[in-house]
Structure 1
Amino acid sequence: MKIKSGQQELTITRATIPPGERMPVHKHPILNGVYIEKGTLTIGLPGQKETLTLGDGKAFIEITDKWHYGHNDGNIPVTIILSYSDPEGEPTTIFKIPDDKRD
């Protein structure tokens, strides 16, 4: 990963994933962290069977520059807190177009 120069900005946001919902396939071009405030989140990579499931109070560095998705297989909403540190004006998340075959 190449670190870009310029003024860095810190973004912290909270997201809620309802029960049964799967997030769109996406990637982060910059380093970011996730804290699971409530619920259980499962993270997967398109085309792979293995997943990672994390629950309340777990924190992790999210996958950088690789397509992935999260889903909530539980019965309660998952609440996550995301933090990003990136050059000002750079996107924190890129969503994959469904028919895009590129990695």
Structure 2
Amino acid sequence: MVTSMLRSGYAAIVVSTAMLLSSSGLQALDSGNPGAKVVVTPLASVTTTASGQPIVLPQKNVQVLVSSFEIPPGAKLPVHEHPSARYAYVLAGNLEVTNVETGKSTSYKKGDFIVEMIGEWHQGANVGAEPVQLLVIDQVEEGTSNTVLKQ
């Protein structure tokens, strides 16, 4: 039951965030406290992945998974791909992601939002002096993994 409640809560956060991000510009929401406004600053509005693919979501039994990643300086993630949508927000550090099929690399820093490529082999590496910290959100068919390692 707790897991179900957490899933519902995460799904509500993702939907609420998506709705807030879909509006353009800065917004001030009434906080219910006169003189105090909640300020919402849109961080991203995208329709494609990092490699230009349209974003496609699972068609049934969608599960939202939220994780935090900490990648030490100099560390590289294994070559992998994602069968479903994965989003990442860079909280700290400098991350370089390389599409191993095309050789194209993209650098991300604190405050960047990443819509990871789907079904394309890629690798992330911490190219900075401090740990990379990521907030990662996956949307998968319930009970499946969203990371496939290259053999």
- Provide the aligned C-alpha RMSD in A: 1.7
Aligned ranges 1:36-51 → 2 under 5 Å:
36-46=90-100, 48-51=102-105
State the distance in 1 between where 2:122 and 2:112 align. Answer: 18
Alpha-carbon distance, 1:2 to partner: 7.2
- Higher RCO by CA contacts (8 Å cutoff, separation 6 or greater): 1
Residues 12-69 of structure 1 deviation map (CA, whole Å, 9 limit, x = unaligned): 0000110001110000000111100000100002264431001001002101110000
Q: Which position in structure 2 is the counterpart of 1:100?
A: none
What amino acid is the match of 2:67?
Answer: T
State the distance in 2 between where 1:47 and 1:6 align. Answer: 30
Q: Which position in structure 1 is the counterpart of 2:115?
A: 61
- The answer on whether the counterparts of 2:64 and 2:139 sit within 8 Å (CA) in structure 1 is yes
State the distance in 2 between where 1:4 and 1:85 align. Answer: 7
Matched, 1:23 2:82: no
Alpha-carbon distance, 1:6 to partner: 3.0
Give ranges in structure 1 of 5+ residues lacking alignment: 98-103
Q: Which position in structure 2 is the counterpart of 1:52?
A: 106
State the distance in 2 between where 1:87 and 1:25 align. Answer: 22
Larger helix percent = 2
- Select the structure of larger CA radius of gyration: 2
How high is the sequence identity, in percent, across the aligned residues?
26
Alpha-carbon distance, 1:4 to partner: 4.7
State the distance in 2 between where 1:37 and 1:65 align. Answer: 25
**Structure 1 residues 16, 8: closer, same or farther in 2, change over 3 A?**
same
Residues 79-102 of structure 1 deviation map (CA, whole Å, 9 limit, x = unaligned): 0111011110121100111xxxxx
State the distance in 2 between where 1:92 and 1:37 align. Answer: 21
Matched, 1:74 2:128: yes
